[in-house]
Structure 1
Amino acid sequence: MKTVLITGASSGIGKSFCYGFAKRGYSLVIVARHKEPLEKLKQEIQKEYNVNIRVIAKDLTQDTCRQLYDECKDLDIDILVNNAGFGDSGAFLDRNLNKQLNMIRLNVLALVELTYLFGNDMKKRNSGGILNVASIAAFAPGPYMNIYYASKSFVLSFSQALAYELRDTHVSVTCLCPGPVNTDFFRRADLLESPMWKFAPPASPEQVAEKAIKGYFNHKDLVINSLSGKLFGLAVKVVPRKWMLKMVGMTNGQR
Protein backbone atom coordinates (compact mmCIF):
# COMPACT_ATOMS: atom_id res chain seq x y z
CA MET A 1 0.00 0.00 0.00
CA LYS A 2 1.41 3.37 -1.01
CA THR A 3 1.64 6.26 1.44
CA VAL A 4 0.89 9.96 1.11
CA LEU A 5 1.95 12.61 3.62
CA ILE A 6 -0.35 15.64 3.84
CA THR A 7 0.45 18.80 5.79
CA GLY A 8 -2.29 21.14 6.94
CA ALA A 9 -4.47 18.03 6.98
CA SER A 10 -6.99 18.82 9.69
CA SER A 11 -9.30 21.13 7.73
CA GLY A 12 -10.14 22.71 4.38
CA ILE A 13 -8.39 21.47 1.25
CA GLY A 14 -6.00 19.39 3.35
CA LYS A 15 -8.86 17.40 4.89
CA SER A 16 -10.33 16.87 1.43
CA PHE A 17 -6.94 15.63 0.19
CA CYS A 18 -7.04 13.03 2.98
CA TYR A 19 -10.41 11.69 1.83
CA GLY A 20 -9.38 11.86 -1.82
CA PHE A 21 -6.30 9.72 -1.33
CA ALA A 22 -7.96 7.39 1.19
CA LYS A 23 -10.67 6.47 -1.31
CA ARG A 24 -7.86 5.58 -3.72
CA GLY A 25 -6.41 3.15 -1.15
CA TYR A 26 -3.44 5.19 0.06
CA SER A 27 -2.12 4.99 3.60
CA LEU A 28 -2.00 8.45 5.15
CA VAL A 29 0.39 10.44 7.28
CA ILE A 30 -1.66 13.43 8.39
CA VAL A 31 0.09 16.47 9.82
CA ALA A 32 -1.18 19.64 11.48
CA ARG A 33 -0.47 21.71 14.59
CA HIS A 34 -3.01 20.10 16.90
CA LYS A 35 -3.42 16.40 17.61
CA GLU A 36 -7.10 16.33 18.62
CA PRO A 37 -8.63 17.30 15.23
CA LEU A 38 -6.22 14.92 13.50
CA GLU A 39 -7.31 12.01 15.70
CA LYS A 40 -10.94 12.89 15.00
CA LEU A 41 -10.23 12.98 11.26
CA LYS A 42 -8.47 9.63 11.47
CA GLN A 43 -11.52 8.03 13.09
CA GLU A 44 -13.87 9.58 10.52
CA ILE A 45 -11.83 8.38 7.55
CA GLN A 46 -11.33 4.86 8.92
CA LYS A 47 -15.10 4.47 9.28
CA GLU A 48 -15.29 4.74 5.49
CA TYR A 49 -11.98 3.40 4.23
CA ASN A 50 -9.74 0.55 5.35
CA VAL A 51 -6.47 2.46 5.29
CA ASN A 52 -3.60 2.96 7.72
CA ILE A 53 -3.34 6.47 9.14
CA ARG A 54 -0.49 7.92 11.17
CA VAL A 55 -1.15 11.14 13.08
CA ILE A 56 1.72 13.59 13.63
CA ALA A 57 1.10 16.90 15.39
CA LYS A 58 3.74 19.45 14.40
CA ASP A 59 3.82 23.24 14.14
CA LEU A 60 5.88 23.65 10.97
CA THR A 61 6.58 27.32 11.71
CA GLN A 62 8.84 26.15 14.55
CA ASP A 63 11.66 24.46 12.61
CA THR A 64 10.21 20.95 13.04
CA CYS A 65 10.47 19.66 9.46
CA ARG A 66 13.51 17.49 10.22
CA GLN A 67 11.63 16.00 13.18
CA LEU A 68 8.69 15.21 10.92
CA TYR A 69 10.99 13.61 8.38
CA ASP A 70 12.70 11.51 11.06
CA GLU A 71 9.34 10.29 12.37
CA CYS A 72 8.61 8.90 8.90
CA LYS A 73 11.94 7.12 8.42
CA ASP A 74 10.25 3.73 8.62
CA LEU A 75 7.97 4.62 5.70
CA ASP A 76 8.43 5.22 2.01
CA ILE A 77 6.49 8.42 1.39
CA ASP A 78 5.24 8.01 -2.17
CA ILE A 79 3.49 11.39 -2.38
CA LEU A 80 4.19 14.55 -0.41
CA VAL A 81 1.35 17.09 -0.32
CA ASN A 82 2.63 20.46 0.90
CA ASN A 83 -0.73 21.98 1.72
CA ALA A 84 -0.06 23.81 5.02
CA GLY A 85 -0.17 27.58 4.75
CA PHE A 86 -2.04 30.68 5.80
CA GLY A 87 -2.63 34.28 4.74
CA ASP A 88 -3.13 37.71 6.23
CA SER A 89 -4.50 40.98 4.89
CA GLY A 90 -3.82 44.66 5.43
CA ALA A 91 -1.01 47.09 4.72
CA PHE A 92 2.30 45.36 5.40
CA LEU A 93 3.71 48.00 7.76
CA ASP A 94 0.51 47.93 9.83
CA ARG A 95 0.48 44.18 10.40
CA ASN A 96 2.14 42.05 13.06
CA LEU A 97 5.70 41.29 11.97
CA ASN A 98 5.92 37.91 13.68
CA LYS A 99 2.77 36.76 11.88
CA GLN A 100 4.29 37.79 8.55
CA LEU A 101 7.52 35.92 9.34
CA ASN A 102 5.59 32.81 10.38
CA MET A 103 3.74 33.00 7.06
CA ILE A 104 7.08 32.86 5.25
CA ARG A 105 8.29 30.04 7.50
CA LEU A 106 5.22 27.94 6.76
CA ASN A 107 4.33 28.89 3.18
CA VAL A 108 7.91 28.88 1.90
CA LEU A 109 10.61 27.51 4.21
CA ALA A 110 8.74 24.44 5.50
CA LEU A 111 7.60 23.58 1.98
CA VAL A 112 11.16 23.83 0.65
CA GLU A 113 12.67 21.77 3.48
CA LEU A 114 10.10 18.98 3.26
CA THR A 115 10.42 18.91 -0.53
CA TYR A 116 14.19 18.61 -0.21
CA LEU A 117 14.12 15.87 2.44
CA PHE A 118 11.41 13.66 0.98
CA GLY A 119 12.26 14.58 -2.60
CA ASN A 120 15.77 13.21 -2.24
CA ASP A 121 14.37 9.89 -1.05
CA MET A 122 12.06 9.83 -4.06
CA LYS A 123 14.93 10.64 -6.40
CA LYS A 124 17.00 7.77 -4.99
CA ARG A 125 14.06 5.37 -5.48
CA ASN A 126 13.24 7.01 -8.84
CA SER A 127 9.58 7.05 -7.92
CA GLY A 128 7.12 9.31 -6.17
CA GLY A 129 5.72 12.77 -6.46
CA ILE A 130 5.16 16.14 -4.81
CA LEU A 131 1.97 18.19 -4.86
CA ASN A 132 2.50 21.77 -3.72
CA VAL A 133 -0.41 24.10 -2.98
CA ALA A 134 0.06 27.67 -4.18
CA SER A 135 -2.78 29.99 -5.23
CA ILE A 136 -3.92 32.13 -8.15
CA ALA A 137 -2.34 34.85 -5.99
CA ALA A 138 0.94 33.47 -7.36
CA PHE A 139 0.28 35.17 -10.70
CA ALA A 140 0.53 38.81 -9.57
CA PRO A 141 1.83 41.14 -6.85
CA GLY A 142 -0.76 41.55 -4.10
CA PRO A 143 -1.03 44.91 -2.34
CA TYR A 144 -2.59 44.49 1.14
CA MET A 145 -1.70 40.79 1.05
CA ASN A 146 1.84 41.19 -0.19
CA ILE A 147 3.59 38.48 1.86
CA TYR A 148 0.93 35.91 1.00
CA TYR A 149 0.99 36.70 -2.72
CA ALA A 150 4.81 36.72 -2.75
CA SER A 151 5.00 33.41 -0.89
CA LYS A 152 2.66 31.74 -3.36
CA SER A 153 4.60 33.19 -6.30
CA PHE A 154 7.64 31.49 -4.83
CA VAL A 155 5.80 28.17 -4.51
CA LEU A 156 4.67 28.26 -8.15
CA SER A 157 8.07 29.25 -9.53
CA PHE A 158 9.89 26.73 -7.33
CA SER A 159 7.51 23.90 -8.21
CA GLN A 160 7.64 24.40 -11.97
CA ALA A 161 11.42 24.71 -11.93
CA LEU A 162 11.74 21.53 -9.88
CA ALA A 163 9.34 19.71 -12.21
CA TYR A 164 11.63 20.63 -15.10
CA GLU A 165 14.73 19.43 -13.25
CA LEU A 166 13.05 16.07 -12.57
CA ARG A 167 11.54 15.69 -16.05
CA ASP A 168 13.76 12.70 -16.93
CA THR A 169 12.96 10.82 -13.70
CA HIS A 170 9.88 9.07 -12.37
CA VAL A 171 9.41 11.78 -9.73
CA SER A 172 6.74 14.30 -10.64
CA VAL A 173 5.89 17.74 -9.27
CA THR A 174 2.46 19.34 -9.50
CA CYS A 175 1.50 22.80 -8.31
CA LEU A 176 -2.11 23.57 -7.45
CA CYS A 177 -3.22 27.20 -7.83
CA PRO A 178 -6.76 27.42 -6.46
CA GLY A 179 -8.91 30.50 -6.54
CA PRO A 180 -11.25 31.31 -3.63
CA VAL A 181 -12.23 28.17 -1.72
CA ASN A 182 -14.98 27.85 0.87
CA THR A 183 -12.71 27.14 3.86
CA ASP A 184 -11.70 28.86 7.07
CA PHE A 185 -8.81 30.53 5.22
CA PHE A 186 -10.79 33.68 4.42
CA ARG A 187 -11.78 34.21 8.05
CA ARG A 188 -8.21 33.74 9.26
CA ALA A 189 -6.94 36.14 6.59
CA ASP A 190 -9.61 38.75 7.47
CA LEU A 191 -11.09 38.59 3.96
CA LEU A 192 -14.77 37.89 4.62
CA GLU A 193 -15.71 41.37 3.35
CA SER A 194 -13.46 41.24 0.30
CA PRO A 195 -15.08 41.93 -3.12
CA MET A 196 -13.26 38.75 -4.20
CA TRP A 197 -16.25 36.75 -2.95
CA LYS A 198 -18.47 38.56 -5.50
CA PHE A 199 -16.04 38.41 -8.41
CA ALA A 200 -15.08 34.76 -7.90
CA PRO A 201 -17.57 32.64 -5.92
CA PRO A 202 -15.67 30.10 -3.82
CA ALA A 203 -15.36 26.46 -4.80
CA SER A 204 -15.74 23.62 -2.34
CA PRO A 205 -12.54 22.12 -0.89
CA GLU A 206 -13.66 18.69 -2.12
CA GLN A 207 -13.85 19.92 -5.72
CA VAL A 208 -10.45 21.58 -5.49
CA ALA A 209 -8.70 18.59 -3.93
CA GLU A 210 -10.22 16.16 -6.42
CA LYS A 211 -9.12 18.25 -9.40
CA ALA A 212 -5.62 18.55 -7.94
CA ILE A 213 -5.32 14.80 -7.37
CA LYS A 214 -6.47 14.05 -10.90
CA GLY A 215 -4.02 16.62 -12.24
CA TYR A 216 -1.23 15.02 -10.24
CA PHE A 217 -1.96 11.55 -11.61
CA ASN A 218 -2.10 13.03 -15.11
CA HIS A 219 1.41 14.45 -14.55
CA LYS A 220 0.38 18.07 -14.90
CA ASP A 221 2.86 20.57 -13.51
CA LEU A 222 0.11 23.17 -12.96
CA VAL A 223 -3.52 22.76 -11.91
CA ILE A 224 -5.93 25.71 -11.82
CA ASN A 225 -9.29 24.61 -10.47
CA SER A 226 -11.58 27.40 -11.67
CA LEU A 227 -12.45 29.46 -14.73
CA SER A 228 -11.92 32.63 -12.69
CA GLY A 229 -8.40 31.46 -11.88
CA LYS A 230 -7.64 30.77 -15.53
CA LEU A 231 -9.01 34.17 -16.53
CA PHE A 232 -6.92 35.86 -13.84
CA GLY A 233 -3.82 34.04 -15.08
CA LEU A 234 -4.57 35.22 -18.62
CA ALA A 235 -5.24 38.80 -17.48
CA VAL A 236 -1.85 39.00 -15.79
CA LYS A 237 -0.21 38.23 -19.14
CA VAL A 238 -2.05 40.92 -21.13
CA VAL A 239 -2.95 43.70 -18.66
CA PRO A 240 -0.17 46.23 -17.92
CA ARG A 241 1.44 45.50 -14.57
CA LYS A 242 0.59 48.88 -13.03
CA TRP A 243 -3.11 48.33 -13.88
CA MET A 244 -2.99 44.83 -12.42
CA LEU A 245 -1.44 46.20 -9.24
CA LYS A 246 -4.23 48.74 -8.95
CA MET A 247 -6.95 46.15 -9.58
CA VAL A 248 -5.57 43.67 -7.05
CA GLY A 249 -4.93 46.44 -4.53
CA MET A 250 -8.50 47.69 -4.82
CA THR A 251 -9.86 44.16 -4.43
CA ASN A 252 -7.72 43.34 -1.40
CA GLY A 253 -7.93 46.76 0.17
CA GLN A 254 -11.67 47.33 0.10
CA ARG A 255 -13.47 46.39 3.32
Structure 2
Amino acid sequence: MERQFVIVTGASTGIGYELARICAQQGFDLLIAADEPEIEKAAAKLRSEPGAAAVDALHVDLATEGGVAQLYAAAKGRAVDVLMANAGRGLGHAFLDQNLDRICEVIDTNVTGTTSLLHKVGNEMRRRNKGRILITGSIAGFTPGSFQAVYNASKSYLNSLSFALREELRDTEVSVTCLMPGATETAFFERADMLDTKVGSEPKDDPALVARAGFDAMMNAKGDVVTGFKNKMQSAIANVTPSELLAKQHRKVAEPGTAKHEPAK
Protein backbone atom coordinates (compact mmCIF):
# COMPACT_ATOMS: atom_id res chain seq x y z
CA MET A 1 0.00 0.00 0.00
CA GLU A 2 1.34 3.43 -0.93
CA ARG A 3 2.31 5.59 2.01
CA GLN A 4 0.29 8.74 2.66
CA PHE A 5 1.93 11.94 1.48
CA VAL A 6 1.86 14.96 3.79
CA ILE A 7 2.91 18.59 3.31
CA VAL A 8 3.68 20.55 6.48
CA THR A 9 4.54 24.25 6.30
CA GLY A 10 6.36 26.16 9.02
CA ALA A 11 7.91 22.85 10.07
CA SER A 12 11.42 23.87 11.14
CA THR A 13 10.44 24.40 14.81
CA GLY A 14 7.51 24.58 17.19
CA ILE A 15 4.05 23.27 16.40
CA GLY A 16 4.90 22.65 12.75
CA TYR A 17 7.90 20.50 13.59
CA GLU A 18 5.89 18.52 16.14
CA LEU A 19 3.12 17.94 13.59
CA ALA A 20 5.71 16.66 11.14
CA ARG A 21 7.25 14.45 13.82
CA ILE A 22 3.91 12.77 14.51
CA CYS A 23 3.46 12.16 10.79
CA ALA A 24 6.97 10.70 10.53
CA GLN A 25 6.24 8.34 13.40
CA GLN A 26 3.06 7.27 11.59
CA GLY A 27 5.14 6.33 8.55
CA PHE A 28 3.84 9.08 6.29
CA ASP A 29 6.01 10.46 3.51
CA LEU A 30 6.75 14.11 4.22
CA LEU A 31 7.46 17.30 2.36
CA ILE A 32 8.28 19.95 4.95
CA ALA A 33 8.85 23.63 4.26
CA ALA A 34 9.93 26.78 6.09
CA ASP A 35 11.44 30.16 5.32
CA GLU A 36 14.66 29.41 7.22
CA PRO A 37 17.58 27.05 6.55
CA GLU A 38 16.92 25.17 9.81
CA ILE A 39 14.34 23.20 7.85
CA GLU A 40 17.19 20.93 6.67
CA LYS A 41 18.17 20.13 10.27
CA ALA A 42 14.54 19.41 11.07
CA ALA A 43 14.35 17.00 8.15
CA ALA A 44 17.47 15.16 9.33
CA LYS A 45 15.94 14.70 12.78
CA LEU A 46 12.65 13.49 11.32
CA ARG A 47 14.39 10.89 9.19
CA SER A 48 15.73 9.32 12.38
CA GLU A 49 12.28 8.87 13.92
CA PRO A 50 11.17 5.24 14.40
CA GLY A 51 9.00 4.22 11.46
CA ALA A 52 9.91 7.33 9.47
CA ALA A 53 9.53 7.18 5.71
CA ALA A 54 10.81 9.66 3.12
CA VAL A 55 11.30 13.24 4.31
CA ASP A 56 12.00 16.01 1.78
CA ALA A 57 12.72 19.57 2.90
CA LEU A 58 12.32 22.88 1.13
CA HIS A 59 13.71 26.24 2.23
CA VAL A 60 11.21 28.61 0.67
CA ASP A 61 9.41 31.88 1.35
CA LEU A 62 5.71 31.07 1.40
CA ALA A 63 4.84 34.77 1.60
CA THR A 64 5.28 34.92 -2.17
CA GLU A 65 3.26 33.36 -4.97
CA GLY A 66 6.52 32.07 -6.42
CA GLY A 67 7.33 30.35 -3.13
CA VAL A 68 3.92 28.69 -2.99
CA ALA A 69 4.33 27.53 -6.59
CA GLN A 70 7.80 26.19 -5.74
CA LEU A 71 6.40 24.16 -2.85
CA TYR A 72 3.55 22.81 -4.98
CA ALA A 73 6.02 21.83 -7.69
CA ALA A 74 8.21 20.07 -5.12
CA ALA A 75 5.41 17.54 -4.63
CA LYS A 76 6.33 16.35 -8.15
CA GLY A 77 2.75 15.62 -9.10
CA ARG A 78 2.15 13.30 -6.18
CA ALA A 79 -1.35 13.44 -4.69
CA VAL A 80 -1.38 15.22 -1.33
CA ASP A 81 -3.24 13.18 1.28
CA VAL A 82 -2.75 15.68 4.10
CA LEU A 83 -1.98 19.40 4.07
CA MET A 84 -0.94 21.00 7.35
CA ALA A 85 -0.97 24.74 6.69
CA ASN A 86 0.98 25.90 9.70
CA ALA A 87 3.38 28.57 8.40
CA GLY A 88 2.92 31.93 10.06
CA ARG A 89 4.59 35.10 11.28
CA GLY A 90 3.90 37.25 14.34
CA LEU A 91 4.51 40.93 15.05
CA GLY A 92 4.33 42.84 18.29
CA HIS A 93 4.20 46.57 19.19
CA ALA A 94 1.64 49.20 18.29
CA PHE A 95 0.35 49.08 14.72
CA LEU A 96 1.53 52.60 13.81
CA ASP A 97 4.97 51.89 15.26
CA GLN A 98 5.46 48.72 13.25
CA ASN A 99 7.52 48.67 10.09
CA LEU A 100 5.17 48.47 7.11
CA ASP A 101 7.37 45.91 5.35
CA ARG A 102 7.09 43.60 8.36
CA ILE A 103 3.33 44.14 8.47
CA CYS A 104 3.13 43.06 4.83
CA GLU A 105 5.27 39.99 5.58
CA VAL A 106 2.74 38.88 8.22
CA ILE A 107 -0.20 39.40 5.86
CA ASP A 108 1.56 37.78 2.90
CA THR A 109 2.58 34.72 4.93
CA ASN A 110 -0.43 34.17 7.17
CA VAL A 111 -3.16 35.23 4.75
CA THR A 112 -2.08 35.47 1.11
CA GLY A 113 0.39 32.58 0.95
CA THR A 114 -1.73 30.26 3.05
CA THR A 115 -4.80 31.05 0.98
CA SER A 116 -2.95 30.33 -2.26
CA LEU A 117 -1.62 27.00 -0.99
CA LEU A 118 -5.04 25.95 0.31
CA HIS A 119 -6.60 26.81 -3.04
CA LYS A 120 -4.07 24.77 -5.02
CA VAL A 121 -4.08 21.68 -2.81
CA GLY A 122 -7.76 21.94 -1.92
CA ASN A 123 -8.78 21.83 -5.58
CA GLU A 124 -6.64 18.75 -6.11
CA MET A 125 -8.22 17.04 -3.09
CA ARG A 126 -11.72 17.90 -4.24
CA ARG A 127 -11.06 16.45 -7.69
CA ARG A 128 -9.94 13.20 -6.07
CA ASN A 129 -12.67 13.46 -3.40
CA LYS A 130 -10.11 12.59 -0.75
CA GLY A 131 -7.88 14.44 1.69
CA ARG A 132 -7.39 16.11 5.04
CA ILE A 133 -6.53 19.74 5.72
CA LEU A 134 -5.30 21.12 9.04
CA ILE A 135 -5.10 24.91 9.32
CA THR A 136 -3.27 26.43 12.26
CA GLY A 137 -5.45 29.32 13.37
CA SER A 138 -5.37 30.64 16.93
CA ILE A 139 -7.54 31.74 19.82
CA ALA A 140 -5.94 35.12 19.05
CA GLY A 141 -8.41 35.25 16.16
CA PHE A 142 -11.25 35.77 18.65
CA THR A 143 -9.73 38.96 20.10
CA PRO A 144 -8.85 42.41 18.72
CA GLY A 145 -5.09 42.23 19.33
CA SER A 146 -3.94 45.53 20.75
CA PHE A 147 -0.14 45.66 20.22
CA GLN A 148 -0.47 42.57 18.05
CA ALA A 149 -3.16 43.89 15.74
CA VAL A 150 -2.15 42.51 12.35
CA TYR A 151 -1.31 39.04 13.67
CA ASN A 152 -4.64 38.64 15.47
CA ALA A 153 -6.51 39.90 12.42
CA SER A 154 -4.71 37.36 10.23
CA LYS A 155 -5.66 34.53 12.58
CA SER A 156 -9.27 35.70 12.61
CA TYR A 157 -9.18 35.35 8.83
CA LEU A 158 -7.77 31.82 9.00
CA ASN A 159 -10.26 30.70 11.65
CA SER A 160 -13.14 32.01 9.54
CA LEU A 161 -11.77 30.59 6.29
CA SER A 162 -11.40 27.12 7.79
CA PHE A 163 -15.01 26.95 8.97
CA ALA A 164 -16.32 28.25 5.66
CA LEU A 165 -14.21 25.86 3.61
CA ARG A 166 -15.28 22.95 5.80
CA GLU A 167 -18.93 23.74 5.14
CA GLU A 168 -18.36 24.05 1.39
CA LEU A 169 -16.71 20.62 1.38
CA ARG A 170 -19.32 19.03 3.62
CA ASP A 171 -20.61 16.67 0.93
CA THR A 172 -17.13 15.46 -0.03
CA GLU A 173 -14.52 13.20 1.54
CA VAL A 174 -12.22 16.17 2.16
CA SER A 175 -12.09 17.26 5.80
CA VAL A 176 -10.98 20.64 7.13
CA THR A 177 -9.85 21.10 10.73
CA CYS A 178 -8.79 24.31 12.44
CA LEU A 179 -6.20 24.03 15.22
CA MET A 180 -6.60 27.00 17.57
CA PRO A 181 -3.86 27.05 20.20
CA GLY A 182 -3.11 29.73 22.74
CA ALA A 183 0.37 30.97 23.62
CA THR A 184 2.76 28.09 22.92
CA GLU A 185 6.43 27.56 23.84
CA THR A 186 8.01 28.27 20.46
CA ALA A 187 10.31 30.87 18.91
CA PHE A 188 7.22 32.89 17.95
CA PHE A 189 7.48 35.57 20.64
CA GLU A 190 11.19 36.13 20.13
CA ARG A 191 10.71 36.54 16.38
CA ALA A 192 7.76 38.85 16.96
CA ASP A 193 9.86 41.02 19.32
CA MET A 194 7.51 40.32 22.24
CA LEU A 195 9.82 38.98 24.95
CA ASP A 196 9.24 42.12 27.04
CA THR A 197 5.48 41.51 27.19
CA LYS A 198 3.44 39.64 29.77
CA VAL A 199 2.33 37.00 27.25
CA GLY A 200 5.87 36.66 25.93
CA SER A 201 7.45 36.12 29.34
CA GLU A 202 4.90 33.81 30.98
CA PRO A 203 4.93 29.98 30.82
CA LYS A 204 3.26 28.62 27.71
CA ASP A 205 1.78 25.42 26.31
CA ASP A 206 3.90 22.50 25.13
CA PRO A 207 4.04 22.48 21.30
CA ALA A 208 4.14 18.67 21.25
CA LEU A 209 0.83 18.48 23.13
CA VAL A 210 -0.71 21.16 20.91
CA ALA A 211 0.37 19.29 17.79
CA ARG A 212 -0.99 16.00 19.08
CA ALA A 213 -4.37 17.58 19.77
CA GLY A 214 -4.45 19.04 16.27
CA PHE A 215 -3.37 15.81 14.61
CA ASP A 216 -5.95 13.73 16.48
CA ALA A 217 -8.73 16.20 15.68
CA MET A 218 -7.77 16.14 12.00
CA MET A 219 -7.67 12.35 11.85
CA ASN A 220 -11.13 12.27 13.44
CA ALA A 221 -12.34 14.85 10.89
CA LYS A 222 -13.33 17.33 13.59
CA GLY A 223 -14.01 20.91 12.62
CA ASP A 224 -11.82 22.55 15.21
CA VAL A 225 -9.88 22.10 18.41
CA VAL A 226 -8.89 24.66 21.04
CA THR A 227 -6.01 23.29 23.09
CA GLY A 228 -5.89 23.58 26.88
CA PHE A 229 -8.64 24.31 29.43
CA LYS A 230 -7.52 27.91 29.97
CA ASN A 231 -7.63 28.59 26.23
CA LYS A 232 -11.07 27.00 25.94
CA MET A 233 -12.31 29.33 28.68
CA GLN A 234 -10.73 32.37 27.01
CA SER A 235 -12.27 31.57 23.64
CA ALA A 236 -15.70 31.00 25.19
CA ILE A 237 -15.54 34.29 27.10
CA ALA A 238 -14.34 36.15 23.99
CA ASN A 239 -17.51 35.12 22.15
CA VAL A 240 -19.71 37.04 24.61
CA THR A 241 -17.43 39.97 25.50
CA PRO A 242 -17.62 43.36 23.72
CA SER A 243 -14.73 43.91 21.32
CA GLU A 244 -13.72 47.17 23.02
CA LEU A 245 -13.22 45.37 26.32
CA LEU A 246 -11.34 42.52 24.65
CA ALA A 247 -8.94 45.03 23.08
CA LYS A 248 -8.31 46.64 26.47
CA GLN A 249 -7.64 43.26 28.05
CA HIS A 250 -5.24 42.26 25.26
CA ARG A 251 -3.24 45.44 25.85
CA LYS A 252 -2.44 44.22 29.37
CA VAL A 253 -0.62 41.15 28.06
CA ALA A 254 0.83 42.35 24.75
CA GLU A 255 1.97 45.92 25.35
CA PRO A 256 5.77 46.26 25.49
CA GLY A 257 7.10 46.57 29.02
CA THR A 258 4.38 44.46 30.66
CA ALA A 259 6.64 41.44 31.31
CA LYS A 260 6.53 40.34 34.95
CA HIS A 261 10.18 39.34 34.93
CA GLU A 262 13.27 39.73 32.80
CA PRO A 263 13.00 37.45 29.74
CA ALA A 264 15.39 34.51 29.63
CA LYS A 265 18.48 35.15 27.54
Q: TM-score, structure 1 length as denominator?
A: 0.95
**Structure-1 separation of matches of 2:123 and 2:80:** 11
Partner residue, 1:45? 46
Partner residue, 1:168? 171
Cα deviation code 1:169-210 (max 9, x no counterpart)? 000001111101111101111222322367x73111111101
Matched, 1:66 2:69: yes
Question: How many Å apart are 1:60 and its aligned residue?
Answer: 1.1
**Structure-1 separation of matches of 2:187 and 2:102:** 17
**Structure-1 separation of matches of 2:77 and 2:164:** 29
Question: How many Å apart are 1:130 and its aligned residue?
Answer: 0.9
Partner residue, 1:235? 237
Q: Secondary structure at the match of 1:30?
A: strand
Give the residue type in structure 2 aligned to 1:24. Q
Matched, 1:185 2:188: yes
1:27-106 mapped onto 2 (5 Å cutoff): 27-35=29-37, 37-48=38-49, 49-63=51-65, 64-106=67-109
Moved more, 41-50 or 99-108: 41-50
Contact 2:28 2:52 in 1 (8 A): no
Give the residue type in structure 2 aligned to 1:113. S
**Structure-2 separation of matches of 1:73 and 1:116:** 17
Q: Secondary structure at the match of 2:48?
A: helix
154, 158, 167: which one aligns with 1:155: 158
Task: Mark the runs of 5 or more structure 1 residues left unpaired by the alignment.
Answer: none
Question: How many Å apart are 1:70 and its aligned residue?
Answer: 2.0
**Structure-1 separation of matches of 2:239 and 2:125:** 34
Give the residue type in structure 2 aligned to 1:133. T
**Structure-1 separation of matches of 2:100 and 2:149:** 13
Contact 2:11 2:20 in 1 (8 A): yes
Q: Aligned pair in 2 of structure 1 residues 109, 25: CA closer, same or farther (>3 Å)?
A: same
Moved more, 121-130 or 26-35: 26-35
**Structure-2 separation of matches of 1:215 and 1:50:** 22
Partner residue, 1:8? 10
Moved more, 67-76 or 178-187: 67-76
Q: Secondary structure at the match of 2:7?
A: strand
Matched, 1:119 2:122: yes
Percent identical among aligned pairs is 36
Give the residue type in structure 2 aligned to 1:39. E
1:199-238 mapped onto 2 (5 Å cutoff): 201-238=203-240
Q: Secondary structure at the match of 1:238?
A: coil
Give the residue type in structure 1 aligned to 2:115. V
Cα deviation code 1:52-93 (max 9, x no counterpart)? 111122111232212221221321111111111011111111
Cα deviation code 1:142-193 (max 9, x no counterpart)? 1111100000000000000000100110000011111011111011112223
Moved more, 239-248 or 104-113: 239-248
Matched, 1:246 2:248: yes
**Structure-2 separation of matches of 1:38 and 1:109:** 22
Cα deviation code 1:70-121 (max 9, x no counterpart)? 2213211111111110111111111100000010000001110000001111
Partner residue, 1:143? 146
Query: What is the number of residues matched between the two proteins?
Result: 253
**Structure-2 separation of matches of 1:34 and 1:93:** 27
RMSD: 1.4
Task: Mark the runs of 5 or more structure 2 residues left unpaired by the alignment.
Answer: 258-265
Q: Which runs of 4+ in 1 moved over 6 A?
A: none
Give the residue type in structure 1 aligned to 2:32. I
**Structure-2 separation of matches of 1:57 and 1:75:** 19
Give the residue type in structure 1 aligned to 2:48. K
**Structure-2 separation of matches of 1:91 and 1:38:** 31
**Structure-1 separation of matches of 2:256 and 2:123:** 44
Q: Aligned pair in 2 of structure 1 residues 31, 197: CA closer, same or farther (>3 Å)?
A: closer
Question: How many Å apart are 1:6 and its aligned residue?
Answer: 0.5
**Structure-2 separation of matches of 1:172 and 1:50:** 24
**Structure-1 separation of matches of 2:237 and 2:7:** 34
